[in-house]
Amino acid sequence: MIERYETAAMRDIWSEENKYRTWLDVELAVCHAWAEEGLIPIEAYESIRKKAFFDIDRIKEVESKVHHDVIAFVSCVAASVGEWGRFIHLGLTSSDVLDTASALLLRQSLGIILEELAILYEEVLKKAFLYKYTPCIGRTHGVHAEPMSFGLKLLNWHSQLKRSEERLILAKKQISYGKISGAAGTYAHCPPSIEEKACAFLGLKPAPISNQILQRDRHAFLILSLALLGSTLENIAQEIRHLQRTEVLEVMEPFASGQKGSSAMPHKRNPILCERICGMARLLRGYALSAMENVALWHERDISHSSVERIIWPDVFHILHYMIALLINIVGHMEVNAEKMIKNIELTKGLIFSQRVLLALVEKGMDRDEAYEAVQKYALECWNEKGTFKDMLTSDPIVSSLLSAEELQGFFDVSYYLRFVDDIFDRFK
């Protein structure tokens, strides 16, 4: 990941140091299991546990000759142990170490994402309650529809984020598996009891079945779930971008002191943070496709997935962690213009109350098609700025014969559309 979008937490997890440390954890867990089975002397295991270490520069030096990173790692660790080094990697194939260690790295990363996600959806929920009764216009197809509350918009974001959490919790369960089953998954050189013990030491479950690797549908589901969360973050960011447009100007993302929006136009205040989130979501969806391509491998395993995973796994977590942190800041400090929301509700001169008038005419006995035609006629005239919608309806003899001026006035009340807001919010207590 380029430095611009790195996060410290993900950098620590996906560092070379932590990668080899996690590989060593797997090797030590297997040695521990062999010791409990009696194949390795307990004193040998204790010596291995105390002495085993790695030197990254030395690993790279060996790898430059053997062109195999796991062999280079095992050779270096074995040399650090001395006479008992022959028990390092006993009965294992490279993927036993790689896939089991990857499960630990992915789980560590996902734990951070879940922690940050909880902060985000709680911040969104807090703002939803703050703007629970703040009226704004609801838009469909980008066109004014009917009044709603800004709090409901935020509550919908909160609900989306909670669903993402549910998917990620399931994904965490599905990737929390290790495999110590050998080159073709037959346990020929390392019995299932070793896998069970080693995985237990590492806090993982043994895969019920594997071949040379853990099947990549597990990992694809994780990356898909992360990409879907990214799309939810994009949905929120894109809405804020729309609401920040000059013609709308209901919500604005934070703008730091001394910040400049354009090199040419000093007046510009662009939604660059939200645009960044939208751009990064595209990367996540691309990585999701790569993860799905990794599912179909030749026979018991080929290596075509390996180069892909070396790139997409750390990148996905860096990107998503960055996006979540950015959106926490945006939601926490966004400027909400309630007065502009009211002005925008009034922008169409009452057109947004057309459905109430339509239903009232139908309730008075008017044929629905006729009522629709009558209401739409004045709506279109109102679009053409020939007067207010209410005045036009009042002047119509048929409408006025069915609805009194007082009744018509009542249909243009924004509070009518907010009367069930409490009921909806009660679902999220």
Q: Are 169 and 163 in contact (CB under 8 A)?
A: no
Q: What is the dihedral of CA 198, 200, 201, 202, to 10 degrees?
A: 90
For residue 137, the surrounding DSSP H or E stretch is strand 135-140
Q: Mapping DSSP to helix (H, G, I), strand (E, B) and coil, where does residue 205 land?
A: strand
Q: Are 219 and 287 in contact (CB under 8 A)?
A: no
Tokens, residue 18 = 């932590």
Choice among 67, 141, 267, 299 that is catalytic? 141
DSSP state of 39: S
Q: Mapping DSSP to helix (H, G, I), strand (E, B) and coil, where does residue 342 land?
A: helix
Q: Using H for helix, E for strand and C for coil, what is the string for 363-381? A: HCCCCHHHHHHHHHHHHHH
Q: Are 101 and 26 in contact (CB under 8 A)?
A: yes
Choice among 15, 68, 262, 395 that is catalytic? 262
- The DSSP bridge pattern shows strands 205-206 and 177-178 to be parallel
Tokens, residue 278 = 């939208």
User: What is the b/e burial string over 203-230, where b = at least 16 CB atoms within 10 angstroms of the residue's CB?
Assistant: ebebbeebbbbbbbebbbbbbbbbbbbb
Closest to 37 measured CA to CA, from 79, 75, 91: 91
Q: Are 120 and 327 in contact (CB under 8 A)?
A: yes
Q: How far apart are CA 47 and CA 85, in angstroms?
A: 10
Q: How far apart are CA 232 and CA 230, in angstroms?
A: 5
- 67 contact partners, CB below 8 Å, separation of at least 6: none
DSSP state of 192: H
Taking residue 55's Cβ as centre, other Cβ atoms within 10 Å add up to 14
Active site residue 321: no
DSSP state of 133: T
Active site residue 318: no
Closest to 151 measured CA to CA, from 166, 138, 165, 164: 138
Q: How far apart are CA 70 and CA 49, in angstroms?
A: 19
3-state helix, strand, coil in the chain (%, to 5): 70, 5, 30
List the catalytic residues. 141, 262
